Amino acid sequence: MGWVEGELGGIPVRIYRISFSGELSFEIGTPAGRGLELWEKLHELGRDLGVTPYGTEAMHVMRAEKGFIMIGDETDGTVIPQDLGLGWAISKKKEDYIGKRAQERSHMTSPDRWKLVGLESLDGRMIPDGAYAVADGVNSNGQRNTQGRVTSTYISPTLSKPIAMGLVHRGPDRMGDVLEFTNPGGEPVKARIVDPVFFDKEGTRSNG
C-alpha cells in the first residue's frame, strides 16, 4: 500500500504498490485528460518487453486463483469479515467502533455461519455461478434444504481446470467434504471443499 507522487514520461502520476491480480503489480493514477497519453507512452516504452494489456475478466480469474474476494460476489448484506477469514482486520484494541455491538450478537458469532471456501469439481465440469449446495431434508415450503452457494466460478488457465469459491455452512471446518451443487438443466455437479487460495498460497509472486 505504499505510494509515490511524481512524473512518468513527463506526465504527472501517483503510483500505488497495490494489486488485485495477485501478481507484483502497481496502479498508476493520472489526470483524466492525460490518461490516453500515458497509456500510449507505457506501451511505447514497454514494447521491447512484450508489454500487453489485459482486461477485467482476466483480472477476475487471477484474483480468484489467489483467493481474493470480490465485493458483491463473495459479499452481500449477510456476510461479515469473519465469514471471509478476515477477522484479523477487526480491531481488538479499540473500546468502541461502528458495528461493534452488531459483531457481538449471537447470530454473528455463531459457528454455524456460511463461510468462504474453495470448491474443486470432481469431474472437471464447471460449477454453475450461484449454484446451491443441497442438504438433507426440505424446508417448510417443501424446497430442498441448502448448505452453501457458489459466489465465483471460472476456468483457470494457470491450473488448467475449473475453480470456484463459495460460502458453505461451517466451510473451513469441513475441508475435503464433497457437496452436490444444483445445475439447472443438467446433472448436479459434485465438488470438494478446499482452501480458497488455489495458486501461490505463500504470496511469493506478489511479494517479489
**What is the predicted pLDDT for the residue at 92?**
83
pLDDT tens per residue across span 43-98 = 999 999 999 999 999 999 999 999 999 999 999 989 999 999 999 988 888 889 88
Q: What is the pTM of this model?
A: 0.88
Domains annotated for the chain, with CATH where assigned, are 3-53 (no CATH), 68-194 (2.40.30.110)
Contact of 136 with 146, CB cutoff 8 Å: no
Cell of 168: 458453505
d(CA 154, CA 166): 12
By CB neighbour count within 10 A (0-12 exposed, 13-18 middle, 19+ buried), where does 15 fall? middle
DSSP helix/strand/coil, 88: helix
**What is the predicted pLDDT for the residue at 103?**
85
CA angle 147/152/154 to nearest 5° reads 125
pLDDT tens per residue across span 98-148 = 888 888 899 999 999 999 999 999 999 999 999 999 999 999 999 999 999
